[in-house]
Structure 1
Amino acid sequence: MTDQKEKAKKRKKSLIEWGVIIGVIAFLYLTGLHTSIIGTLQKGLLATGLIKPSIPSVTDTFPEANRDFYMADEEGQVISLANFDGEVVFMNIWATWCPPCIAEMPSINKLYQQFDESDNVKFVLVSMDEDFEKAKQFMEKRGFDMPIYHYRTKVPGTYESSVIPTTYVISGDGKLMMEKQGLAKYDTSEFEQFLRDLAEI
């Protein structure tokens, strides 16, 4: 009888523990806090420097990047990726509901701050949020001043990634130099130099 009572007691304790865990998870998802919490944990992972984009070798061959699609900026002005011909483009596909996107955004912002208008390196952050206002509020709340856009036409196959975040680097002569699916730490001296070499700064 004692064994049965002990087992019943352990079972009850286990059910209570699982109930608390499920309750906390449900609370985080219902309030939307799960995104920022998971993003913060992933930001800590990025701080280790273990997840970095692989920089392509100059001996690699690179496909032509499709620039024939349209985006709108925060003011509603519609532009094409072709507007950046002759300039290196760092294009990041992201969303406010995506924890790894949130995790890598500070490193992208730090990288962005290393360049100015004369550097021939343009940052294009394309929000996948259905409500573009959420993307604007996210950037403003965190003090990021990077230019953000949202798609205005169907995305060409080149950029139809099933994973976000996905980051592309396109050279000034229209070659797709890099595609990185998933989060990464971009504010490294090696990656900055990679962009500068492409732009011949």
Structure 2
Amino acid sequence: MEKKKFSIKNIPGWAVMLAVFATLYFTGLHTEAIGQVQRLLLATGIKKANVTEETIPANTTTPTESSGSSMAGAGFKMRTLDGKTVSFESLKGKVVFLNIWATWCPPCIAEMPNIQSLYDKIGSDKIAFVMLSVDEGGVEKVQKFIDKKGFTLPVYMPTSQLPQEFYSNAIPTTFIISPEGKIVGKQEGMAEYDTQEVRDFLQGMVK
């Protein structure tokens, strides 16, 4: 009986796809691959951010409304990647763009380049960007990711419990906080932020 010669053409398509996904998973590249696909989705313009007050759920309260404090995130502490501790309240008086993300989150990876672009274009010391990483792998993991991507965004990690007003059912989630300390915008899930609408919204609150 004549033996059949092996040919890659004889390998079922599902087996090839399984091998590809397995390789991506075990090399840790699956997050990056998914993020790239989702970045293409953002590039179509169908996921533009809507961070006006209309996006805030009716049951969302800030400390100003619930506990008499003067700013959302009052008491919250975070640190820079070089170890400097920062009080969230120290940002009062500025417009705050707060993005909660993680290196293991594909949608976070997808939207970060356009947040970097927004940051580059804003160019105002009265608008503070807070890229808050909730990674549990330590600062080294986050620093390695930021260095690899070449991002210059201000990145922080929490050193105290996340305030209740910043809780969300999704990651990433972005909050816009007014100079008075009130949450005036919220976007759950990935979105495109480098738009004229978002730039005008942020700059319109600058005093």
Task: Quickly name the TM-score band, shorter chain normalised.
Answer: 0.7 to 0.9
Give the Cα separation in 1 of the matches to 2:147 and 2:40. Answer: 22
Q: How many residues align?
A: 185
Cα deviation 1:35-56 (Å, max 9, x = unaligned): 1111111111101111012142
Cα distance, 1:86 vs structure 2: 0.5
Give the Cα separation in 2 of the matches to 1:57 and 1:69. Answer: 23
Give the unaligned 5+ runs of structure 2: 1-9, 63-71
1:113-152 matches, within 5 Å, as 113-118=120-125, 120-130=126-136, 131-152=138-159
Asked if residue 89 in structure 1 is aligned to residue 85 in structure 2, the reply is: no
The one-letter code of the counterpart of 2:187 is K
1:46 corresponds, among 42, 45, 62, to 42
Q: Percent identity?
A: 42
Give the Cα separation in 2 of the matches to 1:180 and 1:57. Answer: 10
The one-letter code of the counterpart of 2:47 is I
Contact 2:51 2:176 (C-alpha < 8 Å) held by counterparts: no
Cα distance, 1:67 vs structure 2: 2.5
Per the normalisation by structure 2, the TM-score is: 0.83
Q: State the SS of the aligned residue for 1:113.
A: helix
The aligned residue for residue 22 of structure 1 is 18
Give the Cα separation in 2 of the matches to 1:22 and 1:198. Answer: 50
Give the unaligned 5+ runs of structure 1: 1-12
The one-letter code of the counterpart of 1:107 is N
CA 1:57/1:70 → structure 2, altered by over 3 Å: closer, same or farther? Answer: closer
1:101 corresponds, among 96, 102, 108, to 108
The aligned residue for residue 112 of structure 1 is 119
1:164 corresponds, among 171, 188, 197, to 171
Cα distance, 1:66 vs structure 2: 2.9
Cα distance, 1:110 vs structure 2: 0.5
Give the Cα separation in 1 of the matches to 2:77 and 2:110. Answer: 27
Cα distance, 1:101 vs structure 2: 0.5
Cα distance, 1:107 vs structure 2: 0.4
Give the Cα separation in 2 of the matches to 1:16 and 1:48. Answer: 33
Provide the alpha-carbon RMSD of the alignment. Answer: 2.0
Cα distance, 1:99 vs structure 2: 0.8
Larger proportion of helix: 1
The aligned residue for residue 37 of structure 1 is 33
Bigger shift: residues 189-198 or 48-57: 48-57
